[in-house]
Amino acid sequence: MVDFTFNPNQTINYAVGVSCTIPLIIGIVINILIFCALKAVTISGRLTTWLLSTQMVLDTLSCMSNMLFLWMRHYPYTNYITGWIQCRIWRTQTPYWLWVTMSTCNLAWINLNRLWATVYCATYGRYEKAYIIWTTFGTIAFSVAIVIPNMFIVEFENLSCTTMITPDQTLAYRITQVYQPFWCVTYFLFPIVVMLVAHLGNCILRLRTSTYHSSIFPYSAHLLVDPV
């Protein structure tokens, strides 16, 4: 979560910057093209359109913030306010991790949306607006709750940003002790479980539906055939 190689006085490594920027630019262009393609096609569900479009926007913002961090991180701390912002927000790459977390959360909603549209097909259209509101609110609230502690795993003292936290920095030290397992559970494990459950639920439902149709198909076909 923290760039430990950061040094405000070092010069920019253009070779690393360019080599990392090129794939990020490609990612931005691809996401923009997919976003335009989504606008050109007609998707019946508003929630599906909203979630897919949001995914493209969040992935684009992730690429852009990562690219900005590559080129705009070498500034001295001139005063306490700008230094605090650079240390706790920019040095910890909080904007980047916010977009990435929202993107992961949105992927979980996309999988759940498929399950909702299948299981609750009778009421899905009626409550679609509520789904859009609650999924958007859930994405923002969940991501902010995960990322905010990241701002406090560093210490800004005497115009210096400390990333190698020791027990002397009481608050930051306590947060670092619990933040890594907290991050692994909330960012990795929880979304994976949600997406797996949603995907497996969808597969099981489709298998049951296909089995049901297969069981009644011979009888239906027999009714459609004229006796000789």
Instruction: Say which amino acid occupies 77.
Output: Y
- Closest CA relative to residue 153, chosen from 93, 206, 193: 93
Average pLDDT, the chain: 83
Question: Is the pLDDT reported for residue 128 higher than 80?
Answer: yes
pLDDT of 174 higher than 60: yes
Q: What are the residues facing 157 on neighbouring strands?
A: 160
- pLDDT greater than 50 at residue 226: no
- The pLDDT value recorded for residue 162 is 80
Question: Is the model's pLDDT at 156 over the cut of 90?
Answer: no
Residue 10 has pLDDT above 70, yes or no: no
The SS3 assignment for 197 reads: helix
Q: Going by C-beta distance under 8 Å and a sequence separation of 6 or more, which residues neighbour residue 171?
A: 152
13-64 pLDDT, tens per residue? 778 778 889 999 999 999 999 999 988 888 888 899 999 999 999 999 999 9
| Strand pairing report for 160-162 and 155-157 | antiparallel
The percentage of residues in the chain with a pLDDT greater than 70, rounded to a whole number, is 85
Q: Which domains does the chain have, with CATH numbers?
A: 10-212 (1.20.1070.10)
Residue type, 215: S
